[in-house]
Amino acid sequence: MGYMVFFQECYKLSESLQDVIFRSDRHDCESKKWKSQVDQSRRRADDAEEQARLLQQQLTPVESLTLELMKTQSVNQQLRDQIRVLESRCEQGRHIRLPSWSARRERERGLVHVMQRLQADLVNEHNTSEEHRARAQDWEHVCKTESVRSAELKGLLDRATHLLREQKDAAEQKFLSLQAVVRRQEEHIFDLYRRLEERDDTLRRLRASGSNSIEQLRATRVPSEIRSFDSSLSDIYVPRDLICGLSPNELRSSEEEVGIDLEET
């Protein structure tokens, strides 16, 4: 009778041991599954961090996006810390052979909740990375457009500068040419007034000597410079009374007499 009781207790202990072994195996299987999910989460976090790093390199000029990337790195670091906590929990779970069923269920619920939250965070990080990538593409397009516009404006500025330089050179050449023409005309005018002054002096002397000398003066050849005086020089004002040293009345009478002599000649 005692043997049967002992045998039944051994049988119950064997069943309990098998149940514990089964639960331990299932726990190990679940731990492996969780570890696999943790590894996947780690790889996703690494990918998200790499994408964030690439975005940070591409968006260096943009301060606002840099701040967002720093926030993303902070979130990634938090995710890594949580992953390390989960790994430590998994390692601790391996060493516990006979955990209580309630504690294990509670831990499982906590791990499931954490995994769901990690997945949601990873989805958010992925969306944020996509948004950063789209912004980077927009900034790149804007930079290319501004570069093309700057090149066009530089070309227009170069052409305008070249045209203004040519116009400036042409204006300087024209000014020098006009200056030379005006100088020659002034010299010619001064020479004509000098000859008029000499002719006025001659007329005064001839008036004093008599009419015969005036007839001889009328037969005198008129200088070609006076006959070929360009009408375009008539607009140039020269103070002839100051140049010749005559009063205005004397100069007017001299001009009238010279005009009469030129007509008779």
pLDDT tens for residues 99-152?
556 677 777 778 778 778 888 888 888 888 888 888 888 888 888 888 888 888
What pLDDT is attached to residue 229?
Answer: 41
Category of 245 on φ-ψ map: left (φ > 0), alpha (ψ -120 to 50) or beta = left
Residues of the chain whose pLDDT is less than 50? 97-98, 211-214, 217-248, 250-251, 253-255, 257-265
What pLDDT is attached to residue 24?
Answer: 73
Decide if 114 contacts 86 (C-beta within 8 A): yes
Residue 226's nearest CA partner among 200, 206, 247, 246 is 200
- Reported as half-sphere exposure (CB side, CA atoms, 13 A), residue 265 has a value of 18
* CA–CA separation, 73 and 207 (whole Å): 116
Residue 238 DSSP code: -
What is the chain's alpha carbon radius of gyration, rounded to the nearest angstrom? Answer: 57
Category of 210 on φ-ψ map: left (φ > 0), alpha (ψ -120 to 50) or beta = left
Other C-beta atoms within 10 Å of 34: how many? 20
What pLDDT is attached to residue 219?
Answer: 45
What pLDDT is attached to residue 58?
Answer: 66
- In this structure, the dihedral spanned by the alpha carbons of residues 12, 16, 22 and 26, taken in order and rounded to 10 degrees, is 150
- At position 78, the amino acid (one-letter code) is Q
* CA–CA separation, 134 and 254 (whole Å): 95
Helices 101-209/2-58 angle, 10° precision: 0
- The shares of helix, strand and coil residues in the chain, as percent rounded to the nearest 5, are 90, 0, 10
Would you call 97 exposed, middle or buried from its count of C-beta atoms within 10 A (0-12, 13-18, 19+)?
exposed
What pLDDT is attached to residue 210?
Answer: 66
What pLDDT is attached to residue 241?
Answer: 41
